[in-house]
Structure 1
Amino acid sequence: MSTLQSYGWNEYIMLNPKINLSQDLEAARVLSIQGFKHLLITAAGNVDAQLSSALINSREPEAYPKVGDWVLVKCYEEDGIIIDTLPRINELSRKAPGTQSTRQVLAANIDAALIVQGLDRDYNLMRLQRYLQQIAQCNIQPIVILNKADLVPDPEIYRQQVQELGYNCPVVLTSALNPAQLNELISQFLLPRHTYILLGSSGVGKSTLLNGLLGRKVQEEGTTSSANSKGKHTTTARHLVLLPNGSMIIDAPGMREFGVTAEAGEGVNHPLIDELAPLCRFGNCSHQHEPGCAIITAVHNGVLPELVYRSYLKLLREQNHFQTSEADKRRYERQFSKMVKQVVKHRKNRKY
């Protein structure tokens, strides 16, 4: 098997059969990004590359190559120039941290996202629902990993709580320090030539989990601050690594914020909400105050968990805010573009 095949090239081409490679350009996959330097894997091995000026000037930052992207690169003796990004199968994004409503693309071409929560301090159902909502919206399969299951008396209670969220995704109880459990995780969920991404807050055990899956230490294992019980960052940049069984994992830094995004007109699609919504009296029911709302009735009757409903309303508010801010941004850009055209036209008219 060739190097590119090991990193999923054949599977990618099957989903993008119309891609034709130029004779003087090579296909490569982005393994990591450090500042302006992109580490790529090509048919010949690893190559350090930078973006071409034409690529930088013709794209928005979210369209720049990300970890997991397939790109076209012009290789020289020791480095290369990235000429273009090939079409993405999907992309994992979130609202960029801070007050601005902009989208941040974290990685691309992902088969499944491994959402890790620790059962010692990090376990939080509302935060987990936020991850599940955004990942599902990005058309990526979620897999929930409840780590440190050996530290609680009855871990099955936590698995049941996650299943009651209604996202119908695998929920794995494990300990990153237990080799037998990690081997079971690999055999059941991590397929050769498929790409996964590790997500979760700092301190949940992602680095320990990755080291266990690799069978060797590539990431320093962090500790938890005694002052605030929050984890300390041990991963500082996203990078893609190949596991011994042939699957690939993108290890992402711990994220304290995982804001949801939405395109214009999109809403929060939750399986339990979507199942009950057709039973509402009004077709445009907001599920907040209308009479005859099947969602509110289900909450009162205990059919729909109140935690799910409250989280749904919070995500809905965030999406509405994101969409409004995005619309304002596009309106400003159109006004600015119109103004620039008027200035250029005015200068031309004043020339003798």
Structure 2
Amino acid sequence: MPTLQLYGWNEHFMRHFKTNKSQDLEAARVLSIQGFKHLLITEAGNLEAQLASALMNSHEPEAYPKTGDWVLVKRYDEEGIIIDTLPRINELSRKAPGTQSTRQVLATNIDAAFIVQGLDNNYNIMRLQRYLQQVIQCNILPIVMLNKADLVPNPENYRQAVKELGYNCPVILNSALNLVQQEEWTRQYLLPGHTYILLGSSGVGKSTLLNNLLGYKLQEESATSTANNKGKHTTTARQLVLLPNGSMIIDTPGMREFGVTEENGTIGIHHPLIDELAPQCRFGDCTHQHEPGCAIIAAVRNGALPEPVYRSYLKLLREQYHFQTSEADKRRNERHFSKIAKQIFKHRKDSKY
């Protein structure tokens, strides 16, 4: 099989590649990014490349090539220059860490996301709901993996608690010591030619999991701190690797923050259980917070909708609204700055200095 097809090249990217007028540009996929250096896979093998100045000047940072992107690259001796990025099928984003409301694209062109939580003090059902919500908003299939299942007496109880969230996604129990268990879910969920991403906090066992899937140590495994039960960072950059069965996984550094954004210019948290009940509300524009005749509030009161799910829903909705408001303020300030800059430029031109 040609190299590019091994790494997920398909009709979508071929169609956009054919619109390229230049004959000396190659298609390549971004495997990892280290500073200004991009490691690509081309039909001829690996290639290191940097971004063209024109690309950096004409795009917002979130549109710069990310791990998983397909790009157009021009060769110069043993290095390359990335000229442009082919249109993405999807992109996994989050609110950038910190107080500023900025959208950060983590990786692109992903078929499914493994959301990994360790059952050794890392398990947090509301944090998991945050991951699920953002992954689904980004049009990516979520797969929940409850890792280190051998460290708790009744791991099935944890799986049932995740199922009760109502997202109707696969929930896998996994242990690094149980290779038979790993072979079973690998055969079912890791499909050749598909791209997956590992998400989760530090110390949940992502590096151990990836090493087991590869059959060798790509990453050194790091123990969880005994002082605070928080993981230590092992992976330092996102990187895409080809697994022996022909599937691909993007490994990511542990994330302590995973803030929600608004995608496609719309605001709204679409939880399956709430979406199912919403048509029964008295008002079509019900916010499910204080209106009379709200079916969601009634379901919480009679126990049909778990109260933690509802509280998490409201919290995520507030975060998303705050993000959207801050983004609007930023765009308004940028337009204002651009208008002032044009006026200054015109004044200098008219005054000839």
Task: Note whether the superposition's TM-score is higher than 0.5.
Answer: yes
Aligned residue number for residue 151 of structure 2? 151
Letter in 1 for 2:17: I
For residues 32 and 153 of structure 1, do their structure 2 counterparts lie closer, same or farther at Cα, with a shift above 3 Å needed?
A: same
Alignment of 1:85-124 (within 5 A): 85-124=85-124
- Taking the aligned partners of 1:16 and 1:149, their CA distance within structure 2 comes to 42
Identical amino acids, percent of aligned pairs: 78
Aligned residue number for residue 171 of structure 1? 171
Alignment of 1:44-123 (within 5 A): 44-123=44-123
Aligned residue number for residue 300 of structure 2? 299
- Taking the aligned partners of 1:143 and 1:81, their CA distance within structure 2 comes to 36
3-state secondary structure, aligned to 1:17? helix
3-state secondary structure, aligned to 2:128? helix
Q: Contact between 2:13 and 2:87, CA under 8 Å: does it hold in 1?
A: no
Task: Give the Å deviation of 1:2.
Answer: 1.1
Task: Give the Å deviation of 1:14.
Answer: 4.2
Task: Give the Å deviation of 1:16.
Answer: 5.8
Q: Contact between 1:177 and 1:208, CA under 8 Å: does it hold in 2?
A: no
Task: Give the Å deviation of 1:344.
Answer: 1.8
- Taking the aligned partners of 1:294 and 1:323, their CA distance within structure 2 comes to 27
For residues 142 and 190 of structure 1, do their structure 2 counterparts lie closer, same or farther at Cα, with a shift above 3 Å needed?
A: same
Task: Give the Å deviation of 1:184.
Answer: 1.1
Letter in 2 for 1:248: M
1:328 matched to 2:329? The reply is yes
- Taking the aligned partners of 1:265 and 1:212, their CA distance within structure 2 comes to 40
**Stretches of structure 2 lacking an aligned partner (at least 5 in a row):** none
Task: Give the Å deviation of 1:138.
Answer: 0.2
- Taking the aligned partners of 2:81 and 2:340, their CA distance within structure 1 comes to 35
1:129 matched to 2:129? The reply is yes
1:192 matched to 2:228? The reply is no
Aligned residue number for residue 283 of structure 1? 284
**Stretches of structure 1 lacking an aligned partner (at least 5 in a row):** none
3-state secondary structure, aligned to 1:94? strand
Q: Contact between 1:95 and 1:259, CA under 8 Å: does it hold in 2?
A: yes
Output the TM-score relative to the length of structure 1.
Answer: 0.97
CA RMSD of aligned residues (A): 1.2
- Taking the aligned partners of 1:130 and 1:227, their CA distance within structure 2 comes to 26
3-state secondary structure, aligned to 2:262? coil
Instruction: Please identify, of 173-182 and 206-215, the stretch whose mean Cα deviation from structure 2 is larger.
Output: 173-182
Deviations 1:225-278 (A, max 9, x none): 111110101001000000000000000000000000004432111111111111
- Taking the aligned partners of 2:12 and 2:97, their CA distance within structure 1 comes to 35
1:19 matched to 2:25? The reply is no
Q: Contact between 2:280 and 2:295, CA under 8 Å: does it hold in 1?
A: yes
For residues 55 and 186 of structure 1, do their structure 2 counterparts lie closer, same or farther at Cα, with a shift above 3 Å needed?
A: same
Aligned residue number for residue 8 of structure 1? 8
Task: Give the Å deviation of 1:347.
Answer: 2.1
- Taking the aligned partners of 1:279 and 1:15, their CA distance within structure 2 comes to 43
Q: Contact between 1:3 and 1:43, CA under 8 Å: does it hold in 2?
A: yes
- Taking the aligned partners of 1:348 and 1:307, their CA distance within structure 2 comes to 61
- Taking the aligned partners of 2:68 and 2:352, their CA distance within structure 1 comes to 51
Task: Give the Å deviation of 1:92.
Answer: 0.3
Q: Contact between 1:177 and 1:212, CA under 8 Å: does it hold in 2?
A: no
Runs of 4+ in structure 1 off by over 4 angstroms are none
For residues 16 and 27 of structure 1, do their structure 2 counterparts lie closer, same or farther at Cα, with a shift above 3 Å needed?
A: closer
For residues 140 and 56 of structure 1, do their structure 2 counterparts lie closer, same or farther at Cα, with a shift above 3 Å needed?
A: same
Task: Give the Å deviation of 1:17.
Answer: 2.6
Aligned residue number for residue 344 of structure 1? 345
Deviations 1:102-145 (A, max 9, x none): 00000000000000001111100000000000000000000000
Task: Give the Å deviation of 1:194.
Answer: 0.5
Aligned residue number for residue 275 of structure 2? 274
